[in-house]
Structure 1
């Protein structure tokens, strides 16, 4: 159990209509679902280079953030919010697409490398640590899914219908476990996300 009264939940993606529904925008997609659960809306804040919403629960305050920088500069937005609210890296949870796990799989972990993910790279560079939490939403790797696309084209395209259904079921598991996150019970959240 993490004894914190405040968490920052960040969904990673690229701004603009051309990226809506792409694999690389799974973080935006997921955090929009979280905002629906709590019935809150995002508002753009120039000082945060992002759109932010706040949820007050009996357990904690939860800030939701969608950086409006492009993916490669996500750290600018994340660092500005952490600094403004004086939050530690351990109070940060980043939702992102994950090539190394298959669609339908979703995992929570703390720390680690960025495995070529430019959003994670930018955050680690901006806050000078990798000790934050990650919710890794599986999108699969093109070579595992019998796709001939290179990785950059793959992540910037939309998933197939089957992949989208699998990804949606994983996001739904996270949605139904959101109480564990706001209570800081990350151990239970890890278990509940597993298939």
Structure 2
């Protein structure tokens, strides 16, 4: 089947209970929801330095990955999976928290810099390419939200109720569009996420 796609959806986050529910773990939250939607379970893979699950559909296979290397070394896990399955950067989609957009907003883009995000920087270095897709889940910046916290405390903190509701709404928007991702229809997915 020539249109059959194989893609890797990576959620960025930090392992351990103390990071659960933090803004920086939004990537983990998203892939957990996708796994639940498709009723697949993650398994620990030491060789991949992470937890991996597989979704098989008529249109393609979607691997879900949660690196357990901590954020700053996410690329080690991503590169090991990509090398094993012989995936190209264009087959990689990384879900991460995004300071530059407000809670409730979610965007898709391909390529670009890391904008100070250590997880993205690690992946870019490990796979020697920035030409992968990013699903940017807005968390806002402490300054744009009129908070006095420094950035590291902010991203490792938990969103308030209003922010959580907005973030939840953006994640649900992505979940409803997951079929277009599996089909590799990134143009359509981009349009869906902008609405």
Interval of TM-score (by shorter of Structure 1 and Structure 2): over 0.9
Within 1, Cα distance between the matches of 2:151 and 2:171?
A: 22
Q: Secondary structure of the residue that 1:146 maps to in structure 2?
A: coil
Within 1, Cα distance between the matches of 2:123 and 2:69?
A: 12
The runs of at least 4 consecutive aligned structure 1 residues that moved more than 4 Å come to: none
Taking the TM superposition and a 5 Å limit, the aligned residue runs for 1:48-59 are 48-59=48-59
Q: Is the 8 A contact 1:4 1:91 kept in 2?
A: no
Q: Which runs of 5+ in 2 are unaligned?
A: none
Within 2, Cα distance between the matches of 1:50 and 1:19?
A: 16
1:120 equivalent in structure 2:
120
Within 2, Cα distance between the matches of 1:181 and 1:90?
A: 12
Q: Deviations over 1:117-136 (max 9, x none)?
A: 00000000000110000000
Q: Deviations over 1:65-84 (max 9, x none)?
A: 00001000000000000000
The CA deviation at 1:61 is: 0.7
1:194 equivalent in structure 2:
194
Within 2, Cα distance between the matches of 1:129 and 1:89?
A: 7
Within 1, Cα distance between the matches of 2:62 and 2:172?
A: 19
Q: Secondary structure of the residue that 2:112 maps to in structure 1?
A: coil
Q: Secondary structure of the residue that 2:54 maps to in structure 1?
A: strand
Q: Secondary structure of the residue that 1:76 maps to in structure 2?
A: helix
Q: Is the 8 A contact 1:42 1:53 kept in 2?
A: yes
Within 2, Cα distance between the matches of 1:144 and 1:11?
A: 25
Within 2, Cα distance between the matches of 1:114 and 1:142?
A: 19
Within 2, Cα distance between the matches of 1:118 and 1:5?
A: 28
2:145 equivalent in structure 1:
145
Tell me the matched-pair count.
194
The CA deviation at 1:194 is: 1.3
Q: Is the 8 A contact 1:112 1:130 kept in 2?
A: yes
1:23 equivalent in structure 2:
23
What TM-score does the superposition give when structure 2 sets the normalisation length? Answer: 0.98
What TM-score does the superposition give when structure 1 sets the normalisation length? Answer: 0.98
Q: Residue 8 in 1 paired to residue 12 in 2?
A: no
The CA deviation at 1:5 is: 1.8
Taking the TM superposition and a 5 Å limit, the aligned residue runs for 1:128-139 are 128-139=128-139
The CA deviation at 1:53 is: 0.2
